[in-house]
Amino acid sequence: MAELGQYSLVFALVVAALGMAAGLFGGVTRRDDWAQVAERSVWAVFFFTSVSMLALFHALWANDFSLAYVAQHSARSMSNAYRLSALWGGQAGSLLLWGWMVCAYGAAALWTSRRTNRNLIPWVAVTILGNAAFFLVLVNFVTPPFEQLPAGEIRSDGNGLNPLLQHPMMTIHPVMLYMGFTGFVVPFAFALAALITGELGTSWFRVTRRWSLLAWTVLACGLMLGARWAYEVLGWGGYWAWDPVENAAFMPWLAATAYLHSVMIQEKRDMLKTWNLVLIGLTYILCLFGTFLTRSGIVQSVHAFTNSGLFTYIFFGYVTLVAVVFFAALLYRRSELRTDNRLESMVSREAGFLLNNWVFMAILVVVFWGTLLPVFSEALSGNRVTVGPKFFNSMAGPLALFLLFLTGVGPLIAWRRATVAGIRRQFVVPAAVGVVAGLVLGAIFWGRIGVWSLSCWALSAFVVATIVQEYWRAVGARMRVHGESTVAAFATLLRKNQRRYGGYIVHLGIVFILVGISGAAFNQERLDNIHPGESMRIHDWELKYLSADAIPAQHYGGARARVALYRSDEPKALMTPEKRMYWLEQQPNSIPAIYSTWQEDVYVVLSAVEPDGSATLKVYRNPLVNWIWFGCAVFLLGSLSIMWPHPERKAEPPQT
């Protein structure tokens, strides 16, 4: 089976090369028959890489430790779910998954577009095959997943997967990130094809709109799942540490979010053609660059890969090549992308979107600089200078609040040019709600929170009021004009103008996430060593240590503490934090116990069990943290409502 997987990779690379040649010939000569050969090559490469994926998973499932990859990343004691995770838990497997997903997206996009945009299709196929070919070169010649161990080095068991990755969330979180990264190959390919052919209208982004939204949504889900994984596994009581791996996925999401906002200006006003192409190119290049960062070893992270040397130079060279090709094509077409339309007023919706874009870019620069500072400083001075969460929070926090303000302002301002009367009518209620909320909350929590948390709450109230007002007026209008019920009117709005009213739901989710993040202003923590029967307190919670027991697991050992949780002398939960030692990996890990309410989380970490039976417990009180996860669910709901396909609508009969 392993031989079949290796041969499939070779066939896939050969077919990708032949398909690229066919696509280039078809694109230059405008011969559709050769374009079809390129299309079919994408489907063939997808087939061969699928066979390789199945072969590698079979090797992991069957404990084929004759393969170096299986021996390094799997073990007999691991469950089948974690053996599946091992497929992308190592360098070679994750690169194979990357290439396979590029082919999957490409095959699906070419199938759905097979009868439209025929002039673009050969160049789209060439771009997708070129990206797939790069990863096929890596898994064929640089980090082969089917490399056989010498007969004398084959062992009866493997090293096992990194214990930090042996968590249910890690069976899906990396896959979601890869799906987000690779999904942007479709809009990137169509954008590059538009630049090559000179078909620079709106067709390229209309065709790829849902593909862009899908990749953006899935990447956001990957980020959210990563935050949840960090919260449940790493044992530091948090969900985001501005880790280089987190930042590597966050940067393309920022660029993509800016693109999804600015592309609406091109649709409405035929403006920002060049800028939209810059953004979609930057998004995909950052996806490649983020993959390079986490696999080259140039940044340090708890869950980064450690390859360096030849791999680093090859991957960085490819990222540079993609950037040069795309932006050279953009520079070549710059004169054709000019438009006579101009921004008519700074008080207009398009001005708000443009300002929104620049704030996203400012946050992107902050994240990029903070992430790469150790690399730059070491290259220039020989000293590796790093910055922590304080730098990112202080720099990106005010920008995030300004974005929150713009989120509320955008829907209230008209396109082209807003009038004073219109602004007054639109702003009165939301502004009043925001001011009142800020004053009331400021009075309640006076002296206990800073200006940033209070500003976040006031602005959140302003944005929620804006969204409610938009829905209230639109639903009310449909109820009056068409006699629809409230539910029917709401559903019709989502169906007829998905991006606008679905976007409001997305914005609502972002508000909830920021409210949850602002709860960090009230975070508390306490570290105590206590004996059985003794208690410790944090805020109005009491934790009574009962006992500690050995963990009789096969793959790891350690201790599990039993801690009774009380609030106002009322029992709430029995918490069982664990301290583990994974035998094969010789790596310790803390598994926290979490008691959650809508108001706050009590988060307990077992730091150590002493010989005298006492336990060292670290306890965190994290207010409002569940609003983050709730906001993520609302965000996903809004994104799905935007992407949800609807049948063609019949024209409504005129009202008499």
Question: What are the pLDDT digits (tens) for 423-468?
Answer: 788 889 999 999 999 999 999 988 788 888 899 999 999 999 999 9
- C-alpha to C-alpha distance for 582 and 166, rounded to whole angstroms: 11
Alpha helices in 113-154 (DSSP H): 121-137
Please say if the pLDDT value at position 305 is more than 60.
no
Please say if the pLDDT value at position 343 is more than 70.
yes
Question: In this structure, which amino acid lies at residue 54?
Answer: L
Taking each helix axis from N to C terminus, what angle separates 91-112 and 173-183, rounded to the nearest 10 degrees? 50
DSSP code for 268? H
Please say if the pLDDT value at position 647 is more than 70.
no
347 pLDDT band, cuts 50/70/90, is confident
Q: What is the pLDDT of residue 308?
A: 59
**Nearest-5° angle of CA 485, CA 486, CA 490?**
115
Q: What is the pLDDT of residue 655?
A: 43
DSSP letters spanning 339-367: -S-----SSSHHHHHHHHHHHHHHHHHHH
For the stretch 368-419, pLDDT in tens is 999 999 888 888 888 888 888 999 999 999 999 999 999 999 888 877 777 7
Is 232 within 8 Å of 160 (Cβ atoms)? no
C-alpha separations of 634 from 160, 218, 376, 447 in Å: 37, 14, 39, 32
For the stretch 489-517, pLDDT in tens is 988 888 888 888 999 999 999 999 999 99
For residue 252, give the H/E element and its range: helix 244-269
Mean predicted confidence (pLDDT) in 582-592:
81
**Nearest-5° angle of CA 104, CA 644, CA 176?**
40
The pair of structure tokens assigned to 103 is: 């082919």
Q: What is the pLDDT of residue 156?
A: 83
Mean predicted confidence (pLDDT) in 36-42:
96
Radius of gyration (C-alpha) of the chain in whole angstroms: 27
Dihedral sign, Cα of residue 549, residue 550, residue 553, residue 555: positive
For the stretch 140-179, pLDDT in tens is 999 999 999 998 888 888 887 877 777 788 788 889 999 9
579 pLDDT band, cuts 50/70/90, is very high
- C-alpha to C-alpha distance for 60 and 656, rounded to whole angstroms: 69
**Could you give phi then psi for residue 452, rounded to 5 degrees?**
-70, -45
Q: What is the pLDDT of residue 205?
A: 86
646 pLDDT band, cuts 50/70/90, is low
Mean predicted confidence (pLDDT) in 81-97:
89
121 pLDDT band, cuts 50/70/90, is very high
Q: What is the pLDDT of residue 202?
A: 83
The CB-side HSE value for 396 (13 A sphere, CA atoms) comes to 22
- C-alpha to C-alpha distance for 110 and 132, rounded to whole angstroms: 15
Q: What is the pLDDT of residue 651?
A: 43
Q: What is the pLDDT of residue 381?
A: 84
Closest CA to 277 of 359, 218, 168, 201: 201
Closest CA to 231 of 605, 522, 635, 538: 605
- C-alpha to C-alpha distance for 73 and 75, rounded to whole angstroms: 7
DSSP letters spanning 70-93: HHHH--TTS-HHHHHHHHHHSHHH
Dihedral sign, Cα of residue 470, residue 472, residue 476, residue 482: positive
Q: Taking the domains of the chain in order of start, what are their residue ranges? A: 2-339+350-372, 396-520, 522-627
DSSP letters spanning 162-224: -GGG-SGGGGTHHHHHHHHHHHTHHHHHHHHHHHHHT--SSHHHHHTHHHHHHHHHHHHHHHH
Q: What is the pLDDT of residue 303?
A: 54
CB contact set of 110 (below 8 Å; sequence gap of 6+): 39, 42, 43, 121, 124, 125, 128
357 pLDDT band, cuts 50/70/90, is very high
The pair of structure tokens assigned to 46 is: 């997808």
Please say if the pLDDT value at position 302 is more than 60.
no
- C-alpha to C-alpha distance for 121 and 126, rounded to whole angstroms: 9
**Could you give phi then psi for residue 114, rounded to 5 degrees?**
-65, -20
**Nearest-5° angle of CA 27, CA 30, CA 33?**
90
- C-alpha to C-alpha distance for 476 and 272, rounded to whole angstroms: 35
Q: Minimum mean pLDDT among 6-15, 38-47, 69-78: which range?
A: 69-78
Is 17 within 8 Å of 133 (Cβ atoms)? yes
Is 182 within 8 Å of 101 (Cβ atoms)? yes
- C-alpha to C-alpha distance for 413 and 351, rounded to whole angstroms: 10
- C-alpha to C-alpha distance for 443 and 170, rounded to whole angstroms: 43
- C-alpha to C-alpha distance for 53 and 61, rounded to whole angstroms: 12
- Measured in residues, the chain has a length of 656
pLDDT mean across residues, the chain:
90
Question: In this structure, which amino acid lies at residue 478?
Answer: R
The pair of structure tokens assigned to 501 is: 């009213």
The pair of structure tokens assigned to 110 is: 């070419």
- Structural class in CATH, domain 522-627: mainly beta
Is 583 within 8 Å of 556 (Cβ atoms)? yes
Neighbouring C-beta atoms of residue 293, cutoff 10 Å: 27
Q: What is the dihedral of CA 504, 510, 512, 515, to 10 degrees?
A: -130
Closest CA to 538 of 454, 621, 651, 626: 621
Q: What is the pTM of this model?
A: 0.93
Closest CA to 5 of 57, 75, 46: 57
> To the nearest whole percent, how much of the chain has pLDDT over 90?
65
DSSP letters spanning 570-591: EEEEEE--EEEEETTTTEEEEE
Q: What is the dihedral of CA 131, 249, 221, 234, to 10 degrees?
A: 130
For the stretch 531-577, pLDDT in tens is 999 999 999 999 999 999 998 766 788 999 999 999 988 999 999 99
